[in-house]
Amino acid sequence: MSLKFNPGASELTAKEIATLKEMRTRCARRILLSTSLAASGHPGGSLSSLDILLVAYGLINHDSANPRMAERDRMVESIGHISPGVYSVLAENGYFSEEDFLIGFRRTGSGFPGHVESIVPGVEWDTGNLGQGLSTAVGMAHAFKIQGKKNRVFCLMGDGEQQKGQIAELFAMRSSISWITLPCLLTEINFRFAVVLKISCPSVCRSCTAA
């Protein structure tokens, strides 16, 4: 099932929270099943990012019946190894069946690779080395700005990739991309806790690089 939030609301309703909890339970089950059946994968990062992903897909403009519609928002997952979490949320939103995902995850030729790739319906780009997602997201936002389009771009990053040179270099460009407001969702994994920060680049880039 899919869930659409009112972006203008100050908080979620009790019904929305209850629905999110049900969705999270199903998605967490898929994460554990898929990685167990494949005997590989990254369940930890997927579980810690799950709440963020579910809320994000409830806020962005997307359509599982038309994954490539021109007016869709872009969700860029920079943490490519959390594919079990991303695929679980996409299955929850109706992009493909749970069975196809569970049976095919990390199987050669199945269409559900171990790292997030655009061969999967609903995925916007091919992930690889950590630290590349933010540059990709800024490039997308830049293109939409030039074209005069209203599409929004979101980027999900992990704490471990913040030390990557590519991210630091992009932050250093803040003066030349000051017209871009890009929501960045940062997961900071500290033992069993996940902290979510909403960053508007480049307004807080200085504090990011100084942390």
pLDDT digits (tens, 9 = 90+) for 6-34: 888 888 899 999 999 999 999 999 999 99
176-206 pLDDT tens trace: 666 566 666 655 444 333 334 444 443 333 3
- The pLDDT value recorded for residue 185 is 61
CA distances for 183 relative to 84, 149, 202, angstroms: 23, 17, 10
Does a structural domain hold residue 141? yes
CA–CA separation, 29 vs 52, rounded Å?
17
Distance (Å, whole) CA 21 – CA 51:
9
Give domain status of residue 4, yes or no. Answer: no
Total domains, the chain: 1
Low-confidence stretches of the chain (pLDDT < 70) are 174-211
Adjacent-strand bridge partners of 198? 185
pLDDT computed for residue 203 by the predictor: 38
Length of the chain: 211
Q: Is residue 85 part of a domain?
A: yes
Structural domain range at position 71? 14-210
The model carries a pTM of 0.84
Residue 123: which CATH number?
A: 3.40.50.970
Residue 8 domain flag: no
Instruction: Tell whether 112 is covered by a domain.
Output: yes
What pLDDT, on a 0 to 100 scale, did the predictor assign at position 179? 57
89, 95, 98, 100 alpha-carbon torsion, rounded to 10°: -130
The pLDDT of residue 94: 97
Q: Is 3 part of any domain?
A: no
Question: Has residue 6 been placed in a domain?
Answer: no
